[in-house]
Structure 1
C-alpha cells in the first residue's frame, strides 16, 4: 500500500485539471436539463481521455521530453512549425490566462455559498477577499517550486473534491436503474447534442496532454516505470469520471429546471436533502476551482518553456514569470469582475484548431520507433485513437463555430 501511494503520479493532477468550474457547471446543466440520460457521453469522454492521456504519459516517460518540446524539435517545415507554435502558445498561454479568472471565480462561488460574500474597498474599487485568498494559495503552492509538494497538495484537493461530489450524489438517493440505463444505453434527446459536445469538450482538452508529458518525465525517469504511469493515468481519469458523473447525478436528483451553475445547485440541494448536501457540494466546487487555478498556470509555464526552448525548471525565473503572469491576470480579471470576452473567444478558436492537430501529431509520434522503441502504439490503440481524432475534429469545429457565432 505504501508503494502504491508513493507511485501515485501526475494522474490526479490531470484529473484536477479537467474537473474545473467549467466542467462542474456543464455537468450540473446536463443533469438538470436531461437527468441521467447523458451519463453515456461522460463515459465516452473518459474512455477517450484515458487513451490520449496514457499516450501522453508514455511519451513523457520514454522520451523524457515534453509534448511542446517535441513539437518544436520534430516539426521540420518552418511554416508549419510557426503555425503550430503560434496555435500552442495562443491556446495554452493566452487561453489559460483568460480562463484562470473562471477557475478562481468558481472556487470563490463555493466559499461564498458557505460563508457569504466578503469584500474590501480600495479607492472606490471593490475587491473580493476570497479572490485574493485563493490567488495567494495558488501562488504559494507554485512558488515553492517543489514538484512533490505541488503533487501532494493537489492529490489532497482531488481526494477532498471526490469525497464531496460522490457523497453529494449518494445523499440525493438516485435511481440506480436509471443511472445504469443512462450510462450503457445511449440516448440523444432533443436539443441535447450541444450538451453532449460540451461534456466531452470539457474532459478531452489539449492543455492536459502538454501538462501530462511534462509531469510524467518529472515523476518517472526509467522505461520500466511505463506500467506505473499507465496505472496512475487509468485510476485517476476513471476517478475523475466518477466525480463528473456524480455532479450530473446530484443535479438530476432535483425537480428543478432553472439551476444555472453549481452554486445554484448547492443552494437548491439544502431544502431538499439537508444542509450537508449544500456543504459538500460547496467544498467540491471550491476544490475544483483551486486545483484548476494551480494547474492552468503550471501548464502554461511548461508549454512556454517547451515552445521557446527554456529549461522546464519550476524554480527558474522564466518559468516563474509565465505562471505568475497567468495567475496574476486571472486574479485581476476575477477581482474586477472583468470578463476578457474577446481573448476567451480567440482562445476558443485556437483550441478548436489545436486539439485535432495535437491529437494527430501525438498519434504520429506514438508510432515513431526512433523516439519510443518498443513502446510504440499497438494496432488496436491506433484504431481507437483514429476514432478519437475524428471526435476531436468535431469538437474543434464546434468550438470554432461557437466562438465565431458569438463575435
Structure 2
C-alpha cells in the first residue's frame, strides 16, 4: 500500500509548537513523560481512524457531516461559529508560528542571507503549492518533508545516544512535581482538532463507490497507524535529545528557536544544522497543512465545495496563510487571536470528538462500517481525557 493521507496528519501536528513542547518536556523532566507520548499516539490513531473512515465510507468530510446532520438551527449556527472560530481563525493564528519556525530554521542554515526574506519567500512557495489545487502535488511535497524531518530528528537522537534503560523507564506513567501543564501540552500538541477535519476531508475527496470500501478502510487504518506512530517517534526523538542535552543543567529557556544552537556544544556542529533543517521542515509542513485544515472546516460548515481545486476553497486557504505571513513578517503579536482560538478549541474538541464517535456509530450514516464494541470501549477513556484537557485549558485561559 501507499502511505499518504496519514502523513498529512503527521505533517500537521509536528510543527514548531510540538518541537518547543517536547524540548521543554525533555529539558525540565528528562525521560519521565515519554508515557504521555505513547498515550497521545494511541488516542490520536483511534480518533483519526474514525475521521478517516467517515470520509472513506460517506464521501463527506467532518465539517460537512456536522452541517448536514445537525437539524436544529440554533445548534447548527453554534456549531458553525465554533468550527470557523477554532479551526479557521485558529489556523490563521497558528500559521504565524509555523512560518516563523520555518524561517528560523533557514536563518540557522544560511546565516549570511538577510533573515527578512525567508518568511515572505516561504509564504509565496506555500501559496503556489496550495493554488495548484492538486492532491498529488501537495501530498507529494509534504511526504518528502515528513521523510526529511524524520531522518533529521532520528539522526539527532542517534547522535545524542540516550541511555536505553532511562528511555524505557519513561514509558512507566509518573507525574513529577509541576509536570501536569507539560503533560497536557504534550497531549494537546498531538490530539489536534483540525486534523480530524483535514484527514476526513482529504479522504472524502478520494471517495469512490466502485472501490472495495472494506479494503480501503483497512489500508487507511494501516496508513494512519504507521504515519501517526512515526510522528510519535519524531516527538520522542526531540524529547530524548533535549533530555540528554539539558536535563539537570542550567540551560535557560528552551525553545524551537534556540534548540539548534544549544545542541552544538554536546553534539558538534553538524547537529546544529541537522536540528535547524528539521525545524525548517516542521514549520513548512505545518504552514501548508494548517490552511488546508482551515479551508476544509470553513468551506464544509458554509456549504461550499471542499475540493482543493475550487476557487473558494483555495481562497480561504490562502487568506489563512496570508494572515500568518503578515503577522510573522511584521513581528506583530498574535497572542490575543491565539487565546481566542485556544478558548474556541477548548470548547470545540470535546464536542467534535463526541459527535464524531456518535456519527461513526450510526448505521444510517456508516452502514456496516460502524465502530465495533471494542473500539467504543477503548475510546471512552480518551473522551474523558479530552474533556479534562478542555476544562483545564479553558480554566487556565480564564484564570
TM-score norm. by structure 1 comes to 0.94
1:268 aligns with 2:262: yes
8 Å CA contact 2:4, 2:143 repeated in 1: no
Distance 1:162 1:219, change over 3 A: farther
2:200 to 213, 219, 233: 213
8 Å CA contact 1:23, 1:202 repeated in 2: yes
1:82 to 65, 77, 84: 77
Counterpart in 1 of 2:61? Answer: 66
Counterpart in 1 of 2:5? Answer: 10
Counterpart in 1 of 2:144? Answer: 156
Q: Distance in 2 between matches of 1:220 and 1:339?
A: 41
Aligned pairs (5 A) from 1:219-238:
219-221=206-208, 222=211, 223=213, 224-238=215-229
1:198 to 185, 189, 209: 185
Q: Distance in 2 between matches of 1:259 and 1:44?
A: 27
Q: Distance in 1 between matches of 2:257 and 2:319?
A: 28
Q: Distance in 2 between matches of 1:401 and 1:245?
A: 28
Residue 395 of structure 1, CA deviation? 1.3
Residue 403 of structure 1, CA deviation? 2.2
Counterpart in 2 of 1:306? Answer: 300
1:344 aligns with 2:338: yes
1:100 to 81, 95, 115: 95
Q: Distance in 2 between matches of 1:235 and 1:311?
A: 30
Q: Distance in 2 between matches of 1:226 and 1:391?
A: 26
Residue 205 of structure 1, CA deviation? 0.9
Which range moved further: 62-71 or 136-145? Answer: 136-145
Distance 1:220 1:171, change over 3 A: farther
1:189 aligns with 2:183: no
Counterpart in 2 of 1:122? Answer: none
Q: Distance in 1 between matches of 2:220 and 2:168?
A: 30
8 Å CA contact 1:9, 1:219 repeated in 2: no
8 Å CA contact 2:205, 2:307 repeated in 1: no
Deviations 1:356-398 (A, max 9, x none): 0001001101110111111110111111212111111111112
8 Å CA contact 1:23, 1:199 repeated in 2: yes
1:290 aligns with 2:284: yes
Deviations 1:158-210 (A, max 9, x none): 00000001110110011110000002x11110000100000000100110001
Q: Distance in 2 between matches of 1:174 and 1:387?
A: 32
Counterpart in 2 of 1:109? Answer: 104
- Give unmatched runs, 5+ long, in structure 2: none
Deviations 1:240-290 (A, max 9, x none): 000000000110111433242123221111121111111111111000000
Residue 404 of structure 1, CA deviation? 2.0
- Give unmatched runs, 5+ long, in structure 1: 120-126
1:145 aligns with 2:133: yes
Q: Distance in 1 between matches of 2:156 and 2:397?
A: 34
Counterpart in 2 of 1:25? Answer: 20
Q: Distance in 2 between matches of 1:287 and 1:22?
A: 13
